[in-house]
Homo-oligomer: A and B are copies of this chain.
Amino acid sequence: MAKEKKLVEAITSMEEDFAQWYTDVVKKAELIGYSSVKGCMIIKPAGYALWENIQNELDRRFKETGVENVYMPMFIPESLLNKEKDHVEGFAPEVAWVTHGGLNPLQERLCVRPTSETLFCDFYKTDVQSYRDLPKVYNQWCSVVRWEKETRPFLRSREFLWQEGHTAHATAEEAEERTVQMLNVYADFCEEELAIPVVRGRKTEKEKFAGANATYTIEALMHDGKALQSGTSHNFGDGFAKAFEIQYTDKENKLQYVHQTSWGVSTRIIGAIIMVHGDNSGLVLPPRIAPTQVMVIPIQQHKEGILEKAAELKERLRAAGIRVKTDDSQKSPGWKFAEQEMRGVPVRIEMGPKDMEAGQCVLVRRDTREKLVVSLEELEAKTKELLAAIQNDMFERAKAHRDAHIYDAHSYEEFADIITNKPGFIRGMWCGSQACEDKLKEDFAATSRCMPFHDQEEISPVCVCCGKPAHKLVYWGKAY
């Protein structure tokens, strides 16, 4: 079978070429396909099922905080995009422009949304009149377009899927509270569901979102020591409100500007799952987000009763609320194991004649490959226990890896040594000048990832770049 052969062909090892390993995994785990549309990806069933689980769980967490879903048009008239100066400067160079509708040229060209702040502002301008109309806590699930030159599946593509929340509040305090609240929703989601530890912090002026007063971020460390920005939350203050004239009458009947936020997580997060947990056999999915949690694989399935027994196990696990499949295809058990490993299914259950006779089955963990012989009487309980243990261990392993790759730099020389020789986060003091950020980027392709919330201490009195007095601790790193 040409196809099967391709599948079990060794993927490039991550130690040899991490970028190629990543490309091999997204293809061979059948997460994406390439399309005729340059820079755009096809998300195949295995990839989309992962995104559906991410959506469902994030959406549930959003709604618990009072978020309501809406849908805005995908087009933005050029004049609307131009209303907020910083915003348009940030996005205009990378948008796709629609110039014709049917056979006729448009009077005003429209861009395909790269993000929808301007549309929500235009909407709030008419929809918000009184303090009674506030807050507005809206979100939409949609696709957006940014005309990137270099693209990579999930990490950077011309079109990607995401959610974008856009809120309007009566006060600056409430907007700030919502900005932080949503960043924490993202961080908790990453840690609890995706088993990805994150650093929560604030972006510098240079790195913040176009048009925002402040951008908060969660930063995760990939297996190769590079950072991935995994979710951001922005506080706009009343800047957009002033540009778009979004005013409400307060309780004293005075006109006030609203205060706004926006926050987003995209299909990029799938790249993080791959690069934090994957190994040289393919994907390793955290059980809580895995579309299939358990794959039952019959051994010597031609023997009497084996297929029936495998189906019975599957049915029992399904009834216990576990997402389970059986692979009863004609492939050999070896092929099936390789496929299940490539796709990152957290637990494999092997059921052969000897197991059947002994009233047992074998559970194999995807993450450690450890085998567990389990009496069929305890099937449901032991499987659930194992899934929970895998989820927990995956987080702890990722956290230990992350923590082992955080280094302190006290001087430019030390920074240079670490960034060159030790992939990971670098903690270093910063004086607050953009010139220093520019220099570190120029010299080492290192960027300021964030000023962490929970980790602020003065590890040195001077800036890691210029040596002048500094009071801000920054996480630096190379990033995707």
Give the B-binding residues of A (Cβ under 8 A). 1-3, 33, 35-37, 40-45, 48-49, 51-52, 68-77, 80, 93-103, 110, 112, 119, 122-123, 126-127, 129-130, 132-133, 138, 142-143, 145, 147, 158-159, 161
Contact = CB atoms under 8 A, between A and B. Distances in A.
B102 A159 contact: no
A70 B94 CA distance: 26
A70 B44 CA distance: 5
A122 B99 CA distance: 26
B73 A41 contact: yes
Given A76-B37, A123-B42, A147 B101 contact: yes
Contact of A71 (B43, B70, B77, B100): B43
A3 B130 contact: yes
A132 B4 CA distance: 11
A143 B72 contact: no
Contacts of A80: 36
Nearest to A161: B71
Nearest to A76: B37
Given A1-B132, A36-B119, A45-B68, 11 more contacts: A35-B122, A36-B80, A40-B75, A48-B71, A74-B143, A74-B159, A96-B98, A96-B101, A97-B99, A98-B99, A142-B143
Contacts of A48: 68-71
Given A35-B119, A112-B98, A40 B73 contact: yes
B98 A42 contact: no
6 nearest CB pairs, A to B: A40-B73, A45-B68, A101-B147, A43-B71, A97-B100, A37-B73
A227 B48 CA distance: 36
20 contacts: A3-B132, A35-B123, A36-B80, A36-B119, A37-B73, A37-B110, A37-B119, A40-B74, A40-B75, A42-B71, A42-B73, A42-B123, A49-B68, A49-B69, A71-B161, A93-B102, A96-B102, A101-B147, A102-B147, A112-B112
Nearest to A107: B38
Contacts of A37: 73, 75-77, 110, 119
Contacts of A52: 69
Contacts of A112: 74, 98, 112
A72 B43 CA distance: 7
A297 B42 CA distance: 48
Given A100-B96, A102-B147, A45 B69 contact: yes
A52 B139 CA distance: 13
B76 A33 contact: no
Contacts of A41: 73
A99 B102 contact: no
Contacts of A102: 93-96, 147
Contacts of A68: 45, 48-49
Contacts of A3: 129-130, 132-133
Nearest to A110: B37
Nearest to A122: B36
A102 B77 CA distance: 15
A354 B179 CA distance: 45
A97 B36 CA distance: 17
A33 B127 contact: yes
A465 to B, nearest CB: 32
A37 B75 CA distance: 7
Contacts of A49: 68-69
A100 B99 contact: yes
Contacts of A76: 37
A129 B4 CA distance: 13
A147 B119 CA distance: 20
Instruction: Identify which of A2, A41, A43 gathers the most chain B CB atoms within 10 Å of its CB.
Output: A43
B43 A70 contact: yes
Contacts of A70: 42-45, 48
Nearest to A160: B71
Contacts of A119: 35-37
